[in-house]
Structure 1
Amino acid sequence: MTAQMARDIDTEGLRARCDAELVAFLDRQDPGWPDGAPRGVFDTLRRFVLAGGKRLRPMFCYWGWRGAGRPDSPEIVAAAAALELFHAFALIHDDIMDGSDWRRGEASVHRLFADLHTRLSWRGDPGAYGRSAALLCGDLCATWADQMFHESGIPADQLRQGYAVYAHMRTEVIAGQYLDLVSGVGDGSVASALTVIRMKAARYTVTRPLQIGAGLAGAGEELQAAYAAFGDPLGDAFQLRDDVLGVFGDPAVTGKSVLDDLREGKPTVMMALARARADRGQADRLRALFGNPGLDGDGAEELRAIIVATGARDRIEHMIRVRAESALAALADAPVTPEARESLTTLAGSAVNRQR
């Protein structure tokens, strides 16, 4: 690897540059915060957006641009970082819908506002207040993402091409979120669970950010198709890993409880496989425990034992490996620059082989 290539794939450096762009954007919003509007909303969002995160979506967007042969520039970093604001919108709304009280090791946004309501002894239902306040925060993040994207400095004709993919991604994520709701009350099949992760998470994590970067670079259909061939299976593998960590991960590392998905009855591929492979006794216990809002640690441990005993966890690990290998095979044939191929290979590994 050349010294230039080593600099090009400095993942931590790129993450820091994305964070710096987010800080600069939020600093520009501060003076314009409406008079009389509580500062708590702005301050809460600033902390939430800047508090950790893998920044995978901005990095895939950046390398989508570089893979098309475009040079590094502050403008593409700013446009890519805007995707993190959209991600904040998605996380805030997802936590409300899932009833998750923790995110990145901290209280989720709706929980913060509910706690504020309780602490100040305001009238009404703290939970309802928290959810409503968080919904508005999520909406503001989506608005800011659009603003930051358009203010990135990318030339207008290229911006329009990238924004077409960006707009499609937004629609796809919301449709996938609705499909997730439907699947929660539907058949709970492996096929429906796979459809949900492709629409709700996989494409929005890898494929669309890559394609947005390619669109901003003015790339044609060949590169867009190559990014889909790489991104779709890798995004699936990423989300399958996320579902495993949601049940088997270390909360001190993931920042989320291992009870949330089980209490919610989240319709993951892993749980669909466990149900499909369970014997009668195991199926009875799955019905009794999975989706029980009062599930405790002992019940969660029993569920994890059933998942392992049915072979569902091993099957998920196999699915992750197959999809990661498929993605890397597609990347090997993709018409991208050598430094982009190297960087995307590194990102693929970090997306799949992770503990948080």
Structure 2
Amino acid sequence: MGQNTHKAVIAVLAETLPGERRVALVPADIGKLAQYDIVVEAGAGLNAGFVDEDYSAAGGKILARAEAIAAADLVLAVRAPDFAGFAPGKVVISLGGRDAAVADAAAKAQILHLGMERLPRITRAQSMDVLSSQASIAGYSAVLEGARHLDTLLPMMTTAAGIVRPAKMIALGAGVAGLQALATARRLGAVTYGFDVREAAREQVESLGAEFVFPDVPDAKAEGTGGYAAAQSDDQQFRLRRALTEALSRTNLIITSAQIPGRVAPILIDEETIAAMLPGTVIIDMAAETGGNVTITKPDQIVRHGRVTVIGPTNLPSAAPTDSSRLYSGNMRTLLTHLCKAGPLNLQAGDEILDALAGDQALPARAAA
């Protein structure tokens, strides 16, 4: 894993998680990575709309899974593979950097797992930020999913039979996903509102034509490191829920996306709040994978509480796998270019980005100049 004199080999694997339709590298990016030899597992891009012939035409070599893994210096995936058939010392780059089960499996298999969630929030790493690129797709998809389950239409319509009033939509959490949800809902004609515990989010919410909701709850508003919201106590969360109830009782579509890295998602909506909602209200809980922002959320299930529907999708980017794969691939291409920016592949300690991706795992020491 130190300096290499040969051209490093990248393997692009097919995803094995049910419902995962993305691929880690698309054909268009293969030609932009001439410093690597690239092998692709047969069928890796099919679910995202990319056939093997596309990869071959771009310069990739199609291999069976075991052959691709065996040939690789770096293995790329969207979701962390189970490491079955991986020789000790292999390097895998994928999501799963905050998953304890992935970390344990990698340690047991003696695999260096570079988790993309660990990417540092610094300016020169922005073009590698898969969490942001995929959150943008997820925010868009969340609104479409919510609209599909609503009993009403999002836009206002004037017809000979009467007027259809526009639906009201609110995004709880004004990160990348929440802001994209607001932009999408507004384009579809909804009246939009945005909430975040960070006062700094007001300008972004209002720039999208939404009204910023900021309940007067002392000590419940906080900004953590890296632009994320800070964790709140149970009491702060309770008081915030009660303060939000009035605003939520007047909305038809609610998109929640409040998450704190490495922590269980904060509870923003409980059963008392749900009881006050309009009949037919739909909640899309984008934080379902980390516990959910709603007390009754169940991952990848639809839960009905009276006339309110709560949906907890955990893989919204896969709803648009072609574009989400293109964005993920672009992030990955930038990272791979960075790893070879000074010549042969270098996975030694001392690089701010690489050190962050490795987390607590040991990297080879950088040789003294």
**TM class, shorter-length:** under 0.3
| TM-score, normalization by structure 2 | 0.25
Q: Name whichever structure is richer in helix by fraction.
A: 1
| TM-score, normalization by structure 1 | 0.26
Higher relative contact order (CA 8 A, sep 6+): 1
Q: Name whichever structure is richer in strand by fraction.
A: 2
